[in-house]
Amino acid sequence: MNSYSNTDLNNNKPSIFISYSWNDSEKVDDIEEAFKKVGINITRDVNDLKYKDNLPSFMKSVREHDYCLLFISDAYLKSKNCLTELIEFSKENDFNERLLPIFDNVDIFDPESRIQYIEYWDNYSKKLQAQLNSTNPLKSSNEIDDAKQIEYISLSISDFLQLLTDTKLVSFKKCKNSNFKAIFEYLDIDKDHIKAQILEIDSLNDLDEKEAEIEKLYIKFPDNDLILYYKAYLESINRDNPKKAQILWKDYLERNPEDVLALGYLSFVYKNLKQPNEAVKTLSKALEIEPDNYVLHKNMGSLLFLVTRDFAFQKDYEKAIYHLEKAGIGNPDDHDTFYKLGEVYLQGLLAFDNALECYERSIMLKPDQLMPYIHSIAILTQKKRFKDAEEMIEKAKSYFPNNEKILTSEATFLIESKKDVSKGIDLFYEITEEFPKSFMTYIQLSKYLVELQNDYDSAISLLRRAKKIVDEKKYIDMYLQNLIKQK
């Protein structure tokens, strides 16, 4: 098998390739997470297709997997790449039995709807052919190959739709609500349907109830790796007893030493136990197993940043940047990677220009996230790029129209830019009224009252008021006493 093969090192876990349209990425995230919870990694382009990898080779690798999970939507049925993956898989003799189809908001059971897709591909094929008729075939060989592929899809789409309508399908909504029970029962990985039982336990809302039920299952099947995995997973997210989570993960990894997901969770547990060396060493082992896994690089970069900042570990932010940049190359559309990279540049290296570039990239990829705006506005204001700061504030307000942090950034901008100092002071007062527990607002406002108006009395009164409504009394009291001495 080539590098895209996803056969798990545990023999009882199938390899699964997911074929889907990027328009459905968020829903596919839910599917991937459900499979992860039962210890199965899905081969997916955003995880397994690396920078400069060959896309056709990746698509052909679908044949080397035990199953192909299809996320069938309107976008899927109009995607050349998706249907090419399906065509590749259909070359297997038993491909019907190895398909795991899920449909979402698409009516393939109505003949009129099916005809629309047949016409879509027929028109697409005819359009390409008409364009090629006016070109020199010696100069358009690649385009001719594409046209042949489109023509093949056009000829095959009717049979594919008929295959689906003849099959008992399940909707994404029903799958998600049942924690994908139907799929795991079909896979029949464990005779006792342990995966289905774990998914039922996972659907419970009460964490204590989950732990009690998984303990019962563990007593019944003490040698089952999947139960041990989920038991350790629950302890990891609970955080009340990280030492117990550590013991469980180490037990699991003795049986499955190259499970990178388990190594990732154990690294997370070590961080909670304030053992940074063990956390980094454990995640490094995962990277030795999968050196091109961009998710692992992202986690390593985030981990190195946190342990360097919180534990003075090695005092080397450059390594964090290295791993996060590698993650960004592996998945250039992941907004969170660029946000975390901005955090390292800002908090670790005080490299404001680099941080700003990362925050702006993160905003471009996902404009409805708060913190990149906050940091960007602060940097632009500090660097006196007031026009850019004002534009960023307006953009942020379009997504967060009455957000405390955005309003505070705006008030600071109005004062620092001297655009309207009085309005800035008034806005700070409005924030203290609307968000009375925002103790940093009181401190900022008191600072400006002293600096701009020499008004010690109002600043002291403001801080005394803050002491009555927030928990951070020691911090405020220290600042208050300092103001009284200055006065």
Tokens of 487: 């006065």
- For residue 408, count other CB atoms closer than 10 A to its CB: 22
In whole angstroms, give the CA distance from residue 296 to residue 293: 5
Give 6's pLDDT tier (boundaries 50, 70, 90). Answer: very low
In-domain check, residue 89 = yes
> Which has the minimum average pLDDT: 45-54, 66-75, 209-218, 451-460?
45-54
Q: How many CA atoms lie within 13 A of 212 on its CB side?
A: 6
Give the pLDDT of residue 342: 96
In-domain check, residue 120 = yes
pTM equals 0.62
Q: Is the pLDDT of residue 8 over 50?
A: no
Q: Is the pLDDT of residue 462 over 80?
A: yes
- Average pLDDT for 264-273: 93
In-domain check, residue 369 = no
H or E segment and range at residue 103: strand 99-103
Tokens of 415: 């004062």
Give the pLDDT of residue 1: 29
In-domain check, residue 205 = no
> Which has the minimum average pLDDT: 15-19, 145-149, 208-212, 248-252?
145-149
φ/ψ of 335, rounded to 5, equals -60, -35
What DSSP string describes 8-32? -SSTTS--EEEE--GGGHHHHHHHH
In whole angstroms, give the CA distance from residue 293 to residue 48: 7
Give the pLDDT of residue 71: 92
- Average pLDDT for 268-289: 94
Tokens of 91: 């070359």
Q: Is the pLDDT of residue 408 over 50?
A: yes
In whole angstroms, give the CA distance from residue 257 to residue 259: 6
Report pLDDT digits (tens) over 125-142. 888 888 877 675 655 566
Those residues with Cβ within 8 angstroms of residue 59's Cβ, 6 or more apart along the chain or in another chain: 81, 84, 85, 88
Give 5's pLDDT tier (boundaries 50, 70, 90). Answer: very low
Return the percentage of the chain with pLDDT > 90, whole number. 41
In whole angstroms, give the CA distance from residue 286 to residue 268: 13
Q: Is the pLDDT of residue 169 over 60?
A: yes
CATH number at residue 35: 3.40.50
Number of domains in the chain: 1
Report pLDDT digits (tens) over 70-120. 899 999 999 888 888 787 777 776 777 888 889 998 888 888 888 999 999
Those residues with Cβ within 8 angstroms of residue 89's Cβ, 6 or more apart along the chain or in another chain: 17, 19, 62, 63, 68, 95, 98, 99
Which of 18-27, 230-239, 383-392 shows the highest mean pLDDT? 383-392
In-domain check, residue 149 = yes
**Residues constituting the chain:** 487
Give 382's pLDDT tier (boundaries 50, 70, 90). Answer: very high
Give 198's pLDDT tier (boundaries 50, 70, 90). Answer: confident
In-domain check, residue 221 = no
- Average pLDDT for 118-124: 90
| Residue 185 three-state SS | helix
Give the pLDDT of residue 141: 63
Using alpha carbons, list the distances in angstroms from residue 79 to 21, 75, 157, 243, 470: 7, 6, 12, 48, 55
Report pLDDT digits (tens) over 291-308. 999 999 999 999 999 888
Give 458's pLDDT tier (boundaries 50, 70, 90). Answer: confident
- Average pLDDT for 360-366: 96
Cα 349 versus chain centre, distance: 25
Give the pLDDT of residue 352: 96
Report pLDDT digits (tens) over 212-244. 999 988 887 787 888 899 999 999 887 778 899
Q: Is the pLDDT of residue 470 over 80?
A: no
φ/ψ of 470, rounded to 5, equals -130, 165
Q: Is the pLDDT of residue 477 over 80?
A: no
Tokens of 288: 């030795």
Q: Is the pLDDT of residue 149 over 60?
A: yes
Tokens of 219: 């007593």
Q: Is the pLDDT of residue 143 over 80?
A: no
Return the percentage of the chain with pLDDT > 70, whole number. 87
In whole angstroms, give the CA distance from residue 364 to residue 247: 42
- For residue 6, count other CB atoms closer than 10 A to its CB: 22
In-domain check, residue 186 = no
In-domain check, residue 56 = yes
Give the pLDDT of residue 360: 97
Q: Give the structural domain span for 167.
A: 16-177
Report pLDDT digits (tens) over 304-357. 998 888 776 556 789 999 999 999 998 899 999 999 999 999 998 899 999 999
In whole angstroms, give the CA distance from residue 236 to residue 242: 6
Give the pLDDT of residue 7: 35
Report pLDDT digits (tens) over 422-431. 999 999 999 9
Which of 178-187, 278-287, 458-467 shows the highest mean pLDDT? 278-287
